[in-house]
Structure 1
Amino acid sequence: MSLVRIKDATDPGTWGPAIDEAVNAVSRGELVVLPTDTVYGIGADAFDPRAVQALLDAKGRGRHMPPPVLIPDVRTLDGLATSVPDGVRALADAFWPGPLTIILRAQPSLAWDLGETRGTVALRVPDHRVALALLRRTGPLAVSSANRTGRPAATTVQEAYRQLGASVPVLLDGGTAPGGVASTIVDATGDVLRVVRLGALDLEALNAVTPVEAPLPPQETADAPGTGPGATEPGATQPAAAAAQPDVTPSDGPAAAPAPAGDDERVDGDR
């Protein structure tokens, strides 16, 4: 069993060795814990199916709840997604890095297996310097909240360790995560851009950039085309929402209600 190492990543002037250890762990197919702009996340190489499965196992989560993917910058978008609408590019330019997750059609040629995604992928660029420093070295990471499914999301590296234990050999300590409100999720797989979960960004902010439809009522969302498979149904096959937020049982409240980051992944922190 790997030795668990909590590495100080609070100071950019001295965090080089800590980032190196995390990069090496990812390259070996191991998991890492990293801070994000919402809560702490658990990450794996998005192109290593065994590592992604290890992430799901560590959380006690099935393949029907695939993790979102964190990327280092908007330039990575076209390599992972296809048929990217102009409106998505406008939103990404306006709100990345930041609390916006976008569900897109995944590039069909990609050699990855994130779970039962139905050909979609949820992408986000986090607004956190440690996460971005790591992503620039590793490339895309599958990231979910650093907690066991159904338990509160971790806002400190110590909380993440208590929940995940020896399943994660390298944990980056970036100090206390902000927690707060989860990312807003926009589905771009249909004929229109549509919010499937309101979070840190409201409809007014989105529509100031490009037209985005309001969330459908819960009873309509599950069957409506273009809203993202199972995006509001607990336990349904769905693309993961935001990276780095918590995984708690979704509520039965209105789809338009802002999602608190510390109470579900909502880190899917999306995350």
Structure 2
Amino acid sequence: MPQLPLRQLLEEMAHQPKLVSFPTDTVPALAARPEHAELIYAAKRRPPEKPLILMGASLIDLLPYVAGSPHEQAIWQAVVRQHWPGQLTLVLPASAIAPKTLNPQTSTPQISKAQISKAQTSHGQPAGTQLNTLGIRVPNHPVALELLSHTGPLATTSANISGQPPLTSWADITQTFPDILTPPVDTFEQADEISGQPSTVIKWTGDDWQVLRQGKVKL
């Protein structure tokens, strides 16, 4: 796996579809541009019903990809102000421009009349459409933030084969994914900036939060 200075890594990503791995404040990420998210699914042997997370350098970068009423957005932003950048992923209603490649095989739930009405009122979605969601996060790690500030939001997940524990060392990632790009190896070894624990994941249900995965952050 080539380890490259950031500028060269960005040039490689700009010219052709590439998988990259970089450190975050939780576990190292496996990432690609959203339009090339299929590379992640193939490399990880990840089932298509398991969505990816859209990771960005700031809330401003991620807001266009989610949709909610002004009241809902105020609630979301209050949580973000307290915990971002950091180890918290928000699963929110996806906007019309959210990359479908991050959730390629979403099961269509049975939607009640009340849910349809609420979707029309809160999110502007036509009646009968699927209530799709998108996970978003801003990590608290200087290398991740610098990379994301140049690339824009990336499709991300943990660096491991699907169903196996997340890989945390550059050596293990190198062995498992020999063809992907990374920044220099020493960026993966800044232990004071890496928890080694996946992020807390919370989902907006329309009126409150549901904890899907408990990590270091507790609401």
TM range (shorter): 0.7 to 0.9
Q: Residue 54 of structure 2 contacts residue 155 of structure 2 at CA under 8 Å; is this kept in 1?
A: yes
Percent identical across equivalent pairs? 30
Alignment of 1:1-271 (within 5 A): 4-7=1-4, 18-27=5-14, 28-46=16-34, 48=35, 51-83=36-68, 85=72, 86-110=74-98, 112-114=100-102, 115-117=104-106, 119-166=132-179, 168=180, 170-172=181-183, 173=185, 174-176=187-189, 178-202=194-218, 206=219
Classify 1:35/1:25 alpha carbon distance in 2 versus 1 (closer, same or farther; 3 Å).
Answer: same
Q: Secondary structure at the match of 2:13?
A: helix
Contact 2:200 2:217 in 1 (8 A): yes
AA paired with 2:3?
I
Check the 8 A contact 1:103/1:189 in 2, yes or no. Answer: no
Q: Specify whether residues 57 and 183 from structure 1 end up closer, same or farther in structure 2 by C-alpha distance, changes over 3 A only.
A: same
CA separation of 1:198 and 1:32: change in aligned 2, threshold 3 A = same
Cα distance change of structure 1 residues 105 and 132 upon mapping to structure 2, 3 Å threshold: same
* Structure with bigger RCO (C-alpha 8 Å, 6+ apart): 2
CA distance in structure 2 between the partners assigned to 1:111 and 1:73 by the alignment? 17
Distance 1:145 1:111 in 2: 19
- Structure 1: runs of 5 or more not aligned: 8-17, 207-271
* Contact 1:25/1:31 (<8 A) preserved: no
TM-score (norm. length: structure 1): 0.64
Deviation at residue 109 of structure 1 after TM alignment: 3.1
Distance 2:212 2:188 in 1: 31
CA contact (8 A) 2:64 2:97 kept: no
TM-score, normalised with respect to structure 2: 0.78
Would you say the 8 A contact 2:62–2:153 is kept in 1? no
Q: Give ranges in structure 2 of 5+ residues lacking alignment.
A: 107-130
Partner amino acid, structure 2, of 1:187: K
Asked if the contact 2:19–2:30 (Cα under 8 Å) also holds between the matched residues in 1, the reply is: yes
Give 1 or 2: higher helix fraction.
2
Superposition CA RMSD, Å: 1.8
